[in-house]
């Protein structure tokens, strides 16, 4: 009798353990998404899934976007990464350059060299999605990306 009880308790324990794992993975896989101050409002924007949000990187929202300051009041010092509606170009570039040196960027792809002062990184790169659209591109997609800005220009 005691043996059967013991076996059952092991089985139940295992099921509970499995359930807890699955619940945890469905909820929030990355630490950065439990940043209460930001996620209280920004949950609707979706969660941060990209490489920069990995736990081992030990980054928070403010690592890139800057301290909260007066936000959500305007004006504030938060950095918005975008080609169209972003912060000033120099401000955006300065954040990325803290880690990504020109030398490394140049080695990764030659196009970094010719766009260095002209467009923000976010014009091509997307950091919040699980995969950066620039990570793996077919030659066709790549050339189409070039055309999306350069079409019709004489330079």
Q: Which residues bind another protein (CB under 8 A)?
A: 102, 106, 110, 113-114, 116-117, 139-140, 142-144, 146-147, 150-155
Rounded distance between C-alpha atoms, residue 10 and residue 4, angstroms = 10
- Which CB atom, from 16 or from 146, has the smaller least distance to another protein? 146
Nearest distance from residue 128's CB to another protein, in Å?
26
- Which CB atom, from 36 or from 114, has the smaller least distance to another protein? 114
Q: To the nearest 10°, report the CA torsion of 84, 51, 137, 81.
A: 10
The DSSP code for 30 is S
Nearest to 78 by CA among 106, 41, 115: 41
Nearest distance from residue 111's CB to another protein, in Å?
8
Nearest distance from residue 94's CB to another protein, in Å?
13
């Amino acid at each position: 009798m005691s043996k059967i009880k013991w076996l059952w308790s092991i089985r139940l324990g295992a099921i509970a353990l499995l359930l807890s794992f699955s619940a945890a993975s469905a909820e929030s896989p990355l630490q950065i998404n439990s940043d209460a101050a930001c996620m209280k409002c920004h949950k609707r924007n979706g969660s941060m899934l990209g490489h920069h949000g990995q736990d081992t990187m030990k980054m928070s929202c403010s690592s890139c976007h800057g301290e909260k300051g007066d936000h959500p009041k305007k004006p504030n010092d938060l950095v918005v990464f975008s080609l169209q509606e972003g912060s000033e170009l120099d401000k955006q570039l300065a954040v990325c350059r803290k880690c990504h040196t020109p030398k490394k960027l140049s080695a990764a792809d030659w196009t970094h060299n010719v766009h260095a002062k002209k467009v923000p990184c976010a014009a091509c790169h997307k950091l919040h999605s699980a995969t950066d659209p620039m990570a793996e591109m077919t030659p066709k997609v790549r050339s189409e990306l070039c055309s999306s800005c350069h079409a019709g220009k004489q330079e």
